[in-house]
Amino acid sequence: MKILVCISHVPDTTSKINFTDGDTKFDTNGVQFVINPNDEFGLTRAMWFKEKQGANITVVNVGGPETEPTLRKALAIGADAAIRVNTEATDGFTVAKQLAKVATDGNFDLIIAGRESIDYNGGMVPGMIAGLINANFVNNCIGLEVEGTTTTATREIDGGKETISATLPLVIGGQKGLVEESDLRIPNMRGIMMARKKPLTVAEPVESNPETTSVKFEKPAPKGAVKLVSEDNLDELINLLHNEAKVI
Amino acid sequence: MSVLVYTESDQGTLKKGALEVASYAKAVADKLGTSVTAVTINTNNTSELAKYGVDKVLNISNEALQAFNAKIYADVIKQAAEKESSQVVILSSSADSKYIAPLLAVNLNAGYASNVIEAPSSTSPFTVKRNAFTNKAFEVSQINTEVKIIGVSSNAFGLVETSGEASAEDFSPSILESDVKVQSVDKVTDKVTIADADIVVSGGRGLKGPENWGMIEELADVLGAATACSKPVSDLGWRPHGEHVGQTGKPVASNLYIAIGISGAIQHLAGVNASKVKLVINTDPEAPFFKAADYGVVGDAFTVVPELIEKLKAFKANQ
Ligand SMILES: Cc1cc2nc3c(=O)[nH]c(=O)nc-3n(C[C@H](O)[C@H](O)[C@H](O)COP(=O)(O)OP(=O)(O)OC[C@H]3O[C@@H](n4cnc5c(N)ncnc54)[C@H](O)[C@@H]3O)c2cc1C
């Protein structure tokens, strides 16, 4: 089985979010970048397939050279090869088109992406890849088994979960649940050494006009101070929630 | 030319989110000087949609659409958009709509903006404001394609009533084949879900153990709320995974979020900050959550919550 794992290079979850250039660009100053948490679950699930039933894993990222350390980390975790599509990831549709091209060229059976990246939160790339290559698609995927060309996927739904069967090729939008968090891997020294010898190919992008453009960014207005209510005065709390906030 | 809105239903009944997206569609249609067409699938009663600005309802009744299938639904909505020559298609932020929207975007070759929180500030160019960076910032996004798809964030726009009539039309699109088949559904049906709830009552590690969740459930019952928890609570197996909210869990965009015994770590806040009003109950006055909260009680959950339940019961009885 050939697996393609899409890796988004995102600011670490604790990063302070700031903008530069008249609030038109994300300020990367002092920000540490990591593998998107949803993608990390997907990569670990791919490793499980590789170790338990044999699979070849390619990781791919659409982005500039600054994203290569993130791809190297994925190689150190155990992916076999990496591809970086050499263009700035400016909008979800464009990214999906680049990834769809890689998926088609490489004839992948299973394409694992995260349900959304924690920077732009578009939540569109996995579904768009599936649409573009006409593959089956399971979103919010929290469990996946593959047997031959048949897959059984579990998907989180409002208030529960759903089990789905579908044939390969399949694209999933994965998330926490695909593997246990305790199974997530930290690259070890041997992995890091081996990663240096693994191929990281730079592919040129397909031409695409952006469907959407970021015009600018804004930060939420500073919050007013919390209104503290004494624990001996819960009637006042109910009064505030009812008459002031109008939420009960 | 009308604005098309996909209004979701659950077992034949329109969802609350459907009325919110209808309200949003009306605002967009007013800006564009056009009308609103709603497309619904297997909905028994669509009369309420007129009250929220819908001019025409295309109701699709088809047994084959009983089970949700994103690819087939996206194809059906595409056919409706083509029939109406719609330049703007609007969906909600429910899990199903977020599943459909990217497939629909490919079908219609349309730019898609998700998590949108306001009506477009301009329609030429078409610009919308959306939540990004897990609610730590907003992005003003311009959609450049001829057809535009908007996913409206829950509870961001609200319900806007108007007066009007809607015509109803049966619509019978062709139905795709798909080998994606639902084998089983495992759903707790009698409870309000986090996605649909106006109020969410959430417990953290401060509750010490699963045996103490009775009071969280009781508080939720009194308020007609959904229950949720912080990540360590679901990791420890005290509560089901589906209840974990935050950056790596479910997003919460309720009107009121009550956080009990939750410290307010940045990853938790990121996923719940879209809630309008936040009430925090915590023993530690230095807990970071108090900085993000609107209302707070510094106190022990084990004394505050039971008392709050009693007082709320009395309050509800007097309503
Ligand atoms: C990549 C990543 C992603 C993450 N994603 C998420 C996520 O999506 N959601 C999430 O929640 N976390 C997430 N986390 C974890 C997060 O950083 C925190 O560890 C977590 O939110 C803490 O949960 P807690 O507040 O319940 O527990 P604690 O940090 O243990 O806090 C418990 C709180 O309860 C209070 N308390 C104790 N006893 C009482 C009492 N009797 N009455 C009232 N209050 C009491 C304490 O004062 C304390 O503030 C993530 C972490 C990482 C690294």
**pLDDT, tens digit, for every residue of B39-90?**
999 999 999 999 999 999 999 999 999 999 999 999 999 999 999 999 999 9
Question: Does pLDDT of A222 surpass 90?
Answer: no
Residues of chain B numbered 232-291 and touching chain A (CB < 8 Å): 235, 241-242, 244, 247-249, 255-256, 266-267, 270, 273, 276-277, 279-280, 290-291
B270-301: pLDDT as tens digits:
999 999 999 999 999 999 999 999 999 999 99
**Beta carbons of A162 and B194 less than 8 Å apart:** no
For an interface test with B, give the residue of A116, A124, A180, A213 to mutate (most B CBs within 10 A): A124
Of A138, A167, A212, the CB nearest to B141: A212
Task: Answer yes or no: is pLDDT of B190 > 80.
Answer: no
**Is residue A53 very low, low, confident or very high in pLDDT (cuts 50, 70, 90)?**
very high
Partners of A150 on chain B (C-beta within 8 Å) are none
Query: Which B residues in the span 171-230 are in contact with A, Cβ-Cβ below 8 Å?
Result: 178-189, 191, 193-196, 198-199, 223
Least confident of A70-74, B64-68, B82-86, B106-110: B64-68
The pLDDT of residue B241 is above 90: no
- The mean per-residue pLDDT over the stretch B165-185 comes to 94
Question: pLDDT band at B162, cuts 50/70/90?
Answer: very high
Atom of ligand 1 at shortest distance to CA of B301?
42
Q: What is the pTM of this model?
A: 0.94
Give the residue-averaged pLDDT of A68-91. 97
Q: What is the pLDDT of residue B152?
A: 97
Which token pair is B222? 């009194």
- Whether A229 has a pLDDT exceeding 90, the answer reads yes
Strands of chain A, DSSP E: 2-6, 9-11, 19-20, 25-26, 33-35, 56-62, 81-85, 110-114, 136-147, 150-157, 160-167, 170-174, 200-203, 212-218, 227-228
Q: Which helix (H) or strand (E) holds B141?
A: strand B137-143
> Is pLDDT at B188 greater than 90 in this prediction?
no
pLDDT band at A217 (very low <50, low <70, confident <90, very high): very high
Among candidate residues B112, B121, B172, the one with its CA nearest the CA of residue B145: B112
Phi, psi of B200 (to 5 degrees): -125, 130
The confidence score (pLDDT) of residue B44 equals 96
- Output the CA angle B156-B162-B163, nearest 5 degrees: 160
ipTM of the complex: 0.96
Q: What pLDDT, on a 0 to 100 scale, did the predictor assign at position A158?
A: 84
The encoded tokens of residue B73 equal 């639904």
Q: Reduced to 3 states, what is the DSSP secondary structure of residue A230?
A: coil
**CB-CB under 8 Å, A211 with B143:** yes
How confident is the model at residue B191, as a pLDDT? 82
H-helix segments, chain B = 16-32, 70-83, 95-108, 214-223, 231-235, 266-272, 289-292, 301-317
Asked if the bond preceding A169 is cis, omega within 30° of 0, the reply is yes
Residue B150 above 80 pLDDT? yes
| Mean pLDDT rounded to a whole number for chain B | 96
* A223 has pLDDT over 90: no
Mean pLDDT of chain A: 96
